[in-house]
Chains A and B, each alone.
Chain A
Amino acid sequence: MLDGLTRRQFIEISACAMAAPAIGWPNEAAAAAAPAGGTLVVAAAAGSPRHFNSAVQSGIATGMPAAQIFASPLRFDDQWRPHPYLAERWELAPDGMSLTLHLVKGATFHDGQPITSADVAYSILTIRDNHPFKTMFAPVKQVDTPDPATAVIRLTQPHPALLICMSPPLCPILPKHVFDNGHDIKTNPANLAPIGSGPFKFVEYKPGDHITLEKYDRFFLPGRPKLDRIIYRIISDPSAIVVGLEQGETNFLPFAVSTRDLTRLAKKKTLGVTAQGYQGFGPINWLAFNLLRKPLDDKRVRKAIYHAIDRDFITKKLLLGFAQEATGPIVPSSPFYSAAVDPYAFDLKRANALLDEAGLKPDARGKRFSLTVDYLPIGGPEEQQNIAEYLKPQLKKVGIDVQVRSAPDFPTWAQRISNWDFDMTMDQVFNWGDPVVGVHRTYLTSNIRKGVIWSNTQNYRNPQVDQLLDEAAVTLDEQKRKALYAQFQKIVVDDAPIAWINIVPYNSVYDRRLGNLPTTIWGALSPMDDLYWKESHA
Chain B
Amino acid sequence: MRLANAILQRLCNAILLIAAVIVFNFALIHLAPGDPAQVIAGEMGGANAKILAEIRHAYGLDKPFLEQLWIYVSHVLRGDLGQSYYFNAPVAQLVAQRALATVLLVFSGLIAAIIFGTLLGVFSARRPRGALSHGVTILSLVGYSAPVFWTGILLILLFAAAVPIFPVEGMMDPARTGGGWIGRAIDIAHHLVLPATSLGIVYLAQYSRLARASMLDVLGADYIRAARAKGLSENVVVYKHALRNAILPVVTVAGLDLGRVFAGAVLVETVFDWPGMGRLAYGSILRRDSPTLLGILLFSAVIVIIGNLLTDLAYRLIDPRIRTSA
Residues of A at under 8 Å CB distance from B?
39, 41, 47-48, 50-51, 57-59, 61-62, 132-134, 184, 186-187, 191-192, 206-210, 212, 229, 231, 233-237, 239-240, 243-244, 246-247, 249-250, 409-416, 418, 430, 432, 441, 449, 451-455
Given A50-B86, A411-B39, A453-B47, check contact A231 B168 (CB 8 Å): no
Contact check, B49 vs A449: say whether CB atoms are below 8 A apart. Answer: yes
B161 & A246 in contact (Cβ 8 Å cutoff)? yes
Report how far A62 CA is from B42 CA in the complex, Å.
13
Identify which of A132, A235, A432 gathers the most chain B CB atoms within 10 Å of its CB: A132
Q: Are A209 and B170 in contact (CB under 8 A)?
A: yes
CB distance from B37 to the nearest CB of A (A): 9
**A247's closest neighbor in chain B, by CB?**
B164
The answer to whether A412 touches B33, judged by C-beta atoms less than 8 angstroms apart, is: yes
Shortest CB distance A271–B (Å) = 14
Name the residue on B nearest A235 (C-beta): B273
Q: B87-109 CB contact bits vs A (8 Å, 1 = yes)?
A: 11100001001100000000000
Q: Is there a chain A Cβ closer than 8 Å to B204's Cβ?
A: no
Stretch from B50-58, B127-135, B216-224, B242-250 at the A interface: B50-58
Q: Distance in Å from the Cβ of B217 to the closest Cβ of chain A? A: 42
Is B160 in the interface zone, CB < 8 Å from A?
yes
Number of interface residues of B (CB under 8 A): 55
A58-B45, A208-B280 given; A409·B52 CB < 8 A:
no
Could you show 24 A-B contacts with beta carbons less than 8 Å apart?
A39-B175, A50-B40, A51-B88, A57-B43, A132-B51, A207-B87, A209-B275, A229-B175, A233-B174, A235-B170, A237-B272, A239-B156, A240-B272, A240-B273, A244-B169, A246-B161, A247-B161, A247-B167, A249-B173, A409-B286, A415-B34, A415-B38, A451-B49, A451-B52
B285 located at the interface, meaning its Cβ lies under 8 Å from any Cβ of chain A in the complex:
yes
Beyond A416-B33, A453-B46, A454-B47, 6 extra complex contacts between A and B, CB < 8 Å? A57-B44, A243-B156, A249-B168, A250-B169, A411-B38, A413-B34
State the CA gap A430–B275 with chains docked (Å).
Answer: 30
Q: Which B residues are within 8 Å of any A CB, using their own CB?
A: 32-36, 38-49, 51-52, 54-55, 58, 86-89, 94, 97-98, 153, 156-157, 160-161, 164, 167-171, 173-175, 270-273, 275, 279-280, 283, 285-288
Query: What residue in chain B is nearest A46 (Cβ atoms)?
Result: B43
Enumerate chain A residues within 8 angstroms of B87, measured Cβ to Cβ: 48, 50-51, 192, 207
- Given A50-B86, A239-B156, A452-B49: A249 touches B34 (CB 8 Å cut-off): no
With A209-B170, A240-B168 in contact, do A50 and B49 touch (Cβ < 8 Å)? no
For the complex formed, measure the closest distance between the CB of B139 and the CB atoms of chain A, giving whole angstroms.
24
Measured between beta carbons, the chain B residues less than 8 angstroms from A41 are: 174-175
With beta carbons under 8 angstroms apart, the residue of A187, A233, A244 that contacts B58 is: A187
Q: Are A231 and B48 CB-contacts (below 8 A) given A47-B283, A239-B271?
A: no
**Contact (A454, B46) CB under 8 Å given A51-B88, A247-B160:** yes
Complex partner residue of A132 from B48, B160, B171, CB under 8 angstroms: B48
Q: How far is the CB of B282 from the nearest CB of chain A, in Å? A: 9
Nearest residue in A to B288 (C-beta to C-beta)? A411
A449 touches which one: B42, B48, B167 (CB < 8 A)? B48
- Contacts A58-B46, A409-B285, A415-B33; is A240 near B52 (CB within 8 Å)? no
Cβ distance B273 to chain A, nearest Cβ, rounded Å: 5
Q: Inside 8 A of A191's CB, which chain B residues have their CB?
A: 88
Which residue of chain A has the shortest Cβ distance to B55 in the bound complex? A186
B44 touches A235 (CB 8 A): no
Question: Per a CB cutoff under 8 Å, which of A47, A243, A244, A409 touches B34?
Answer: A409
Q: Which residue of B has the minimal Cβ distance to A184?
A: B58
Which residues does chain A contribute within 8 Å of B44, judged by CB atoms? 57-59, 132
In angstroms, Cα B18 to Cα A196, docked, is: 44
Tell me the minimal C-beta distance from B34 to chain A in angstroms. 2
Report A44 CB to chain B, min CB distance, Å: 11
CA distance A236 to B153 in the complex (A): 14
**Among the listed A48, A132, A415, which residue makes an inter-chain contact with B47, where contact means beta carbons less than 8 Å apart?**
A132
Q: Are A247 and B168 in contact (CB under 8 A)?
A: yes
Cross-chain contact A233 with B94 (CB below 8 angstroms): no
Specify the chain B residue showing the minimal Cβ separation from A441. Answer: B46
Name the B residues within 8 Å of A231 (CB-CB). Answer: 174-175
Residues of B within 8 A of A62 (CB): 43
Which residues of B are found within 8 Å of A57, using beta-carbon distances? 43-44
> Is B42 a contact of A410 with CB atoms below 8 Å?
yes
Task: Indicate if the CB atoms of A208 and B279 lie closer than 8 Å.
Answer: yes
Nearest 5 pairs between A and B by C-beta? A411-B34, A209-B275, A58-B45, A454-B46, A132-B44
User: Contact at A453–B271, with CB atoms within 8 Å?
Assistant: no
Verify A187–B39 contact, CB threshold 8 A. no
Nearest to A538 among chain B residues (CB) is B175
User: What CA separation (Å) do A57 and B42 show in the bound complex?
Assistant: 10
Question: Which among A206, A237, A413, A452 is the interface contact of B41 at CB below 8 angstroms?
Answer: A452
> Which residue on A lies nearest to B45, using beta carbons?
A58
Distance in angstroms between the alpha carbons of A243 and B166 in the assembled complex: 11
CA A209 to CA B286, docked complex, whole Å: 18
Name the residue on B nearest A211 (C-beta). Answer: B174
**Smallest Cβ-Cβ distance to A447: which chain B residue:** B48
Contact B38 A212 (CB under 8 A): no
Name A249's contact: one of B39, B167, B287 (CB within 8 Å): B167
Query: Please, which residues of chain B bring their CB within 8 A of the CB of A133?
Result: 45-46
On chain B, the residues within 8 Å of A414 by CB distance are 34, 38-39, 41-42
Q: Which single member of B34, B46, B48, B97 contacts A412 (CB below 8 Å)?
A: B34
**A455 cross-chain contacts in B, Cβ below 8 A:** 46, 48
Indicate if the CB atoms of A237 and B47 lie closer than 8 Å. Answer: no
The residue on A at minimum CB distance from B161 is: A243
- Decide: A237 and B270 in contact? CB cutoff 8 A: yes
Interface contact B156-A454, CB-CB below 8 Å: no
- A454's partner among B45, B173, B288 (CB-CB below 8 A) is B45
A207 with B97: in contact, given A236-B273, A409-B34 (CB under 8 Å)? yes
**With A409-B34, A410-B39 known to touch, is A452 a contact of B47 (CB < 8 Å)?**
yes
